[in-house]
Structure 1
Amino acid sequence: MDWQTHARRLAADVVRPDSRWHEPLADTPRHVFVPRWWENLDGVWELRDGTADPEAWMRAAYADRTLVTRVGPVHADLAEPGAIVTEGKPTSSSTLPGLVVSMYRHAMINDDSRVLVTTGTGYGTALLCRRLSDQLVTSVDVDPYLVGVARERLASIGLSPRMASADITGPLPGAFDRIVSTVSVRPVPASWLAALRPGGRLVTTIAGTGLVLVADKTRDGGAKGRIAPDAAGFMRTRHGDDYEHTTGEVWEKAQASDGDQVSTSPYPLLYVPDSWEVMSMLELLAPSIDHRVAQVGDERTVWLLHQDGSWARATAVGFLGSPTVHQGGPRRLWDVLEKIRHRLNREGGLPVYGAQVAIDPDGTTTLSRGSWTTTL
């Protein structure tokens, strides 16, 4: 199987030939780490087996795209041939290579840096091991199966970083110059600050947003940094086999109930995850909203759901029609969203990207830009 040709093409697509990441991308067999994956077709997850179609396997593995390897508790490695999953959200994946490299670049990794990374399939760990000595790399995941199989696949290509099964929001196995997390957190775990060496750097994303947080450890044990200008999104940290599903009862009400308030929005209908900037601002102000969307013919509906019982449903015909909005529960979620859109319309932008970040030793994280400030 001529995977090297595909890997070299991927490297050329992602970085310049003189980049220090070109050789790791060109020399790392990504297909080894993703022998099976899930494809989403019209809301249904279908299993793909690389060995059953090697040509499709090479196309998928060496494209700059994310490959989902786990939906809910069901890992593609362990699924029955031809399996289909009709419910659940992705819980593990092989992140698109370009984004992995972007996160590493934000970390400004030196040749002698000791680095902690998150495992997933192990492909990102392999890239870092190719860039550094594998003895400088520690890779952790909350899922013991993922750690075990990644260790085997790394060993099969001659790499042996330190591997550990650990909740990344808890105590970390060692001291590090860099921490790069491709799972999102809120706030930054205090254990990261304890594990960072003086002057060390952490790179992660804030859960539920597209915000890449880059911060350097300060003498007081906290950290200071910024929100990067580019956007990225990763799965949230989880502490068990699957994410908790907390909006089921709210969803039942939100589908058809008139709610406590009915209004007409002045803005075209927006499915919030389609806008990185708006989604990030909304998540900072009203964390953990569950976004859903459906379309029947020309009629499109979006929902905002929260575990506290708050919900909003907005429906419009076509993309330019004025949405009718129903809201219920203790908070008016759509009103929060519209305040954000008013600000965006008035100022031409939102203050989230480029914001300064200050992190206290206990992990309390404050973002600020101009007169705007918010604490996670």
Structure 2
Amino acid sequence: MDWEKDAGRLADRVTDPDSRWLAPLASVPRHELIPRWWETDDSGTWVLRKGTDDPVAWAETAYCDWSVVTRVGPLHADQAEDDDHPEGRPTSSATLPSLVVRMLRHGRLGEGLPFLDLGTGAGGLTAYAARRIGDRHVTSLDVDPYLTEAASVRLAAMGIHPAFITTDATMRVPGSYERIVSTVGLPAGPGLRPVLAALAPGGRIATTIGRTSLIVTGWKHTNGDVVGVVERDTAGFMLTRSGDDYPPALTDLFALARDGVGEYRTTGRYPVVDVAEAWEIQSMLEVTTPGVESAFETNGEIRTATLVHPDGSWARATAECTAPPEVHQGGPQALWTELERIRSRLNTEGSLPLLGAHARITPDGVVHLSRGSWRGSLGDR
């Protein structure tokens, strides 16, 4: 494989000609970080792919600007057999390079400044950062011992030797860092405290907040607050996890939402939306109704969206194409009503007040947001 040309083309595509990140991207053989990966077939089944079986597909996968799933549920592609078909959600990936570059830019890495890459994954961000500022200044952390070990071995073969830590960042983050970039969605509240404690006064963090697409950046003040903004940029990172897999979804509640007759039956105002793909709406819903989970399916021209909440609330909206949906809701919160309130604000004002909002993260991990007269928070419930 002529990976140097492929890496050079990738670097040209996702950076500017004068970018300080162009050379690091062009110098890393990304295919060596993802020798195996998962893809879904036409039926949605996860299928193992091996680079050595198809070098052309390997090069195309590694040097195109997309994310590559390397772990589904508890099964990493490196450890899978040919006939394995894991079920569940992706739990690790090699993030698309353009997003890696954007997060590194948000982090504003500098020469000689200790840097923490939170979420090792396949090791790409760690490699680029080490090429840019020197591996002795770079530490990479992940909850999964296989990920840190594999990245350590593969980067060492490239002559890159950063430090690696295996730990649950929501419980403990060893060390002190001037810059932190997280490519996992950190939970607002108590789970964010260890990361904030590891950020040195005067240091900068760039992270998404779990269950949202919001990229929050800020500088740590001497009182422990991190003050900054919600960037006018978005990212969809996996949530942090504390074990081999994510906790089970609210399966029984989703089943009720799919088939139940709600206590409240109405006709919705707006067409059915796939909430998980409507990133700004989903993010605002997490601010107003933290913990909501969503699902979406189509059957011909019939579109159905469901929302559930750990407190037992659920909602289902069903319609043909863009017709007003029939809505069923149950439980203590009217989830679809809250979603429509958010959509009304978006339609009325042309935007939601999230992107560009002022952000202040207090040492307890609560993210306080404000923009004009609007106030919101994450992690205080």
Q: Distance in 1 between matches of 2:3 and 2:247?
A: 38
Equivalent-residue separation in structure 1 for 2:196 and 2:290 (angstroms):
23
Task: Quote the offset at 1:248 in angstroms.
Answer: 1.0
Q: Aligned runs of 1:263-302 on 2, under 5 Å?
A: 263-302=266-305
Mean CA deviation greater in 72-81 or 184-193: 184-193
Deviation at 1:193, TM superposition (A): 2.5
Taking the aligned partners of 2:295 and 2:39, their CA distance within structure 1 comes to: 19
Equivalent-residue separation in structure 2 for 1:135 and 1:102 (angstroms) = 22
% identical aligned pairs: 49
* 1:110 Cα deviation after fit: 1.0
SS at 1:354 equivalent: coil
- Whether 1:183 and 2:184 are equivalent positions in the alignment is yes
Alignment check: 8 A CA contact 2:135 2:162 kept: yes
Aligned residue among 347, 357, 360 for 1:358: 360
Distance, in Å, in 1 between the alignment partners of 2:51 and 2:292 is 36
TM-fit CA distance, 1:17: 1.9
CA RMSD of the aligned region, Å?
1.2
Q: Secondary structure at the match of 1:182?
A: strand
Tell whether 2:157 aligns with 1:156. Answer: yes
Secondary structure in 2 matching 1:64:
coil
CA contact 1:314–1:326 (8 Å) conserved in 2? yes
Q: CA deviation at 1:18?
A: 1.4
- In structure 1, C-alpha distance between the alignment counterparts of 2:143 and 2:104, rounded to whole Å: 21
Secondary structure of 1:362's partner? Answer: coil
SS in 1 for 2:183: coil
Distance (whole Å) between structure 2 residues aligned to residue 288 and residue 333 of structure 1: 11
Quote how far apart the aligned CAs of 1:247 are. 0.5
Aligned counterparts of 2:61 and 2:193: Cα–Cα separation in 1: 37
Q: Deviations over 1:137-165 (max 9, x none)?
A: 00010011111111111111111100010
SS of 2:186's equivalent?
A: coil
Match in the other structure for 2:325: 323
Residues 238-259 of structure 1 deviation map (CA, whole Å, 9 limit, x = unaligned): 0011100141110221121112
On the 8 A contact 1:115/1:137 being kept in 2, the answer is yes
Aligned to 1:99: 99
Query: Once the 2 structures are TM-superposed, how far is the Cα of residue 171 of structure 1 from its aligned partner?
Result: 2.4
Q: Which AA in structure 1 matches 2:195? A: W
Query: Which has the higher mean CA deviation after the structures are superposed, 251-260 or 61-70?
Result: 251-260
> What SS does the corresponding residue of 2:131 show, helix, strand or coil?
helix
Q: What is the aligned counterpart of 1:247 among 236, 241, 250?
A: 250
2:261 is matched with: 258
* Amino acid aligned to 1:108: R
For structure 1, which runs of at least 5 residues remain unmatched after alignment? none
- The TM-score normalised by the length of structure 2 is 0.96
Give 3-state SS (helix, strand or coil) of 1:183's partner. strand
Q: Distance in 2 between matches of 1:82 and 1:24?
A: 37
The amino acid of 2:146's aligned partner reads Y
1:12-57 CA-to-partner distances (Å, cap 9, x unmatched) read 1101121100001111011111011111234321111111000000
Structure-2 separation of matches of 1:135 and 1:29: 20
Aligned equivalents of 1:194, 1:303: Cα separation in 2: 38
User: Is contact 2:294-2:306 (8 Å) kept?
Assistant: yes
- Normalising by structure 1, what TM-score? 0.97
Do the aligned partners of 1:222 and 1:363 also contact (CA within 8 Å) in 2? no
Give the C-alpha shift of residue 364 in structure 1: 2.1
Residue type at the aligned position of 2:182: S
2:217–2:230 Cα contact (<8 Å) kept: yes
Match of 1:4 in 2: 4
SS in structure 1 of the partner of residue 259 of structure 2: coil
- Deviant stretches of 4+, over 4 Å: none
User: Is the 1:246–1:307 contact (alpha carbons within 8 Å) kept by the matching residues of 2?
Assistant: no
Amino acid paired to 2:2:
D
Q: By how many angstroms is 1:170 displaced?
A: 2.5
Work out whether residues 120 and 141 of structure 2, in 8 Å CA contact, stay in contact via their aligned partners in 1.
yes
Structure 2 counterpart SS, 1:349:
coil
Task: Report if aligned partners of 2:276, 2:295 keep a CA contact under 8 Å in 1.
Answer: no
Amino acid paired to 1:373: R
Paired residues in the alignment total: 374
- Kindly provide the CA deviation profile for residues 51-99 of structure 1, in whole angstroms up to 9, marking residues without a partner as x: 10000000000011000111111111111014323x3011111000110
CA distance in 1, matches of 2:32, 2:229: 36
2:312 corresponds to: 309
Instruction: Report matched runs for 1:213-252 at 5 Å.
Output: 213-252=216-255
What residue number does 2:36 align with?
36
Residue 198 (1) aligns with residue 205 (2):
no
1:58-207, aligned counterparts within 5 Å? 58-85=59-86, 87-117=87-117, 118-187=119-188, 189-207=192-210
CA distance, structure 2, for counterparts of residue 268 and residue 248 of structure 1: 25
